[in-house]
Each structure stands twice: as structure tokens, then as C-alpha cells.
Amino acid sequence: MIQFAWPWVLALLPLPLLCRWWLSAQAPVEQAALKVPFLDDFGQAKSQLSRPQQQWPLIIASIAWLLLVLASSRPQWLGEPIEQMVSGRDLMLAVDVSGSMSEKDFVLADDWVDRLTATKYVASAFMTRRVGDRVGLILFGTTAYLQTPLTFDRKTVVTLLNEAFIGITDDDPATSIGDAIGLAVKHLKNEDDKSRVLILLTDGANTAGEITPLQAAQLAADNGLKVYTIGIGADEMIVRSFLGNRKVNPSRDLDEKTLIAIAEKTQGRYFRARNKEELEAIYQLLDQLEPVEKDKQFYRPMSELYPWPLAAALLLTVLIIISRQRFR
């Protein structure tokens, strides 16, 4: 449908007629003329030729004025209503990008991949499903920084997550879990939404940062931020060497005790992901624990139409000017 943003402008349509009525006509200027005795013989032919010539500029000018007023009222085309679901939930994902995340103990498409690659694969699908949530991304290693602020643009968040790499924060292999939680609290504490959630994924222990994980967890609890923690990494791997095969625990540095304490203090939960299947199951469970609400909002796409009548009015004005120059 078509609507007018400023319909009151249409009241200006009779303005030229009012000006014609209110303002007195200009007295004709007398000019010297050559009188021809037999000029009356051409009177009828002159009136027939001059009358259409005098009327068509007035008609074109009236149409141009109509188009100009129509353009000034800002006609707009409103499309069909489009449904948009909004859940009112703020969800922040904090991903460990320290050196230990380069451990290749996950299988993806029959190939051994590092932990960060598996995290990208599973977390990207999770973020894509969060229709209606505002999502954000924090990357942390020795330092933590906000990669993406809260946004409804899940596609951009997924893109920036997939562009992350080991050591993107710094070359130091240390991990600052406390700083990551503190950064999430900083960016979520002033939000008025009903549900604020942080999903923190790491494979190690807190070895850097300005604040300890438990202090950050208490800060999160005080500000109503629920934290779900995920410990990632296999429990054992077979390593081949010159002395034969031996079993190793690639997750020996994982501080599960602290991650459990963080989750309990903030009324969240702790999960353990030893392979891709368990990691996928965790994110599916998170979908159930923090379901996407079905609050619906509608918006109608709008297109401005005023350039068309405005262009037509300008074109007719140019034609009038050219015609006056030609017949002057």
C-alpha cells in the first residue's frame, strides 16, 4: 500500500489559485506597435493560433505543481508485514584461543583437527540457531577482548568466530578465564533484558589476568549473569614414539574444579566435551536450557517514492523554460 509521510503538504495544492485570486493582475505594458489597416482580416487566424499556444504551458505548469506537491508529501510504499522473532535474551560466547587449543584431539569428517576448529564447527551452528537472541563474542588467551558486541546479526558473529585463530590475542600461551568473565559482566550488566547468559569454553586453567575466576564469578552472580562452562579436550590419546605407543592425557591442565565452581556460583552448569559428539550434545542441551522464546514482532519494509514525481516535475519545468525561450 501507499502512504504519505507528510500528508498535510497536500493542502498546498490550491495555493496557485489563491495567489491568483488574492494578488491583483499586473497591468499590461503598453508598447509601440505598427498599425496595419487590414490587421482585422487576420484576427480570427491569430486567435486560433495563439489560444492553444497560450494554454498548454499553463496545463503543463499545473501538472508540474501537482507533482511537486505530491513529492513534498513523501509518498512511501509499504511492503507486506514480515515476522521477526525476538527473545529478549543476551547471549555471550567466550572462547579460549590460547596455545593449548591447538591440540589435535578431535575428529571432524574423519580427520584429526585442533580443539578450536571443532569449537568453531559446533558453536557456529549453535549461534545460527539462536534466532531472536542478541549474541556477542569474546576471545581470550593471556588477555580477553570483545570481538563482537551484542547484536542480532548472527551471521557476522559466526564469521568473526570462524576467522579467529590460535594466538589472536597474543603469543603467550597463558589463559585468563577471570578476565573473560569480567569482560562479559562489563558489557552485560547495564542491559535490562530478562535473561543474560555467558557460555565459556576453555581447555585449561586460569594462569593470567587481573581477576581470579571465582572473583569474576561472584561479580557475575551479583549482576544476574548466568555462566555455563564447558571443559574441552580428550581424556586420553595414543601417542606413537620410537619406544612404542603410549597413552597420554591431553586435558591434564583442565581445571574442572574451578569451572564447576563458576557454574554453581552463577546458577549455571558445567559440561565436559571430550569429542565432537559430546560438544554438539552440549550445545543442543543449552538450546533446551535457554530456549528461544516465540515473542513475535512485525515490521513492514518501506520504500520512498518521492524521487519519481519530483523528477517528473523538474522535467516539466525544464520543458516550460525551453518553450518560453523558443517562442520569445
Report the predicted TM-score, pTM, of the whole model to 2 decimal places.
Answer: 0.63
Q: What are the distances in angstroms from CA 151 to CA 89, 139, 191?
A: 11, 16, 13
Which cell numbers hold the place of 238?
595414543
What are the residues whose beta carbons fall under 8 Å from the beta carbon of 268, sequence distance 6 or more? 197, 226, 227, 228, 229, 262
Scanning the chain, the segments in alpha helix (DSSP H) are: 15-22, 43-72, 115-129, 154-162, 177-188, 213-222, 256-265, 276-289, 307-327
The b-or-e profile of 192-210 (16+ CB within 10 A means b, else e) is eeebbbbbbbbbbbbebbe
| 218 or 48, higher pLDDT | 218
Mean pLDDT of 101-125: 89
HSE-up (13 A, CA, CB side) for residue 25: 3
Kindly report, residue by residue over 152-183, the tens digit of the pLDDT.
889 999 999 999 998 887 766 789 999 999 99
C-alpha cell recorded at residue 80: 507486506
pLDDT for the residue 253:
81
Per-residue cell: 321: 523554460
Q: List residues bridging with 140 in a β-sheet.
A: 96, 144
Give the pLDDT band of residue 42 (cuts 50, 70, 90): very low
11: phi then psi, degrees, rounded to nearest 5: -65, -15
Vertex 216: Cα angle to 114 and 293 (nearest 5): 75
Q: How far is it, in rounded angstroms, from Cα 328 to Cα 320? A: 12
pLDDT score of 242 = 57
For the chain, the average pLDDT equals 81
For 155, the 3-state DSSP assignment is: helix
* CA–CA dist 96, 254 (Å, integer): 12
SS3 76: strand
Distance separating alpha carbons of residues 56 and 68, to the nearest angstrom: 18
Residues in the chain: 328
pLDDT, one tens digit per residue, over 56-106 is 777 888 888 899 999 999 888 887 776 555 556 789 999 999 888 888 888
In whole angstroms, give the CA distance from residue 66 to residue 124. 55
Least confident of 39-43, 57-61, 94-98, 110-114: 39-43
Percent of the chain scoring above 90 in pLDDT = 30
Burial letters 93-116, b for 16+ CB under 10 A, else e: bbbbbbbbbbbebbeeeeeebbbb
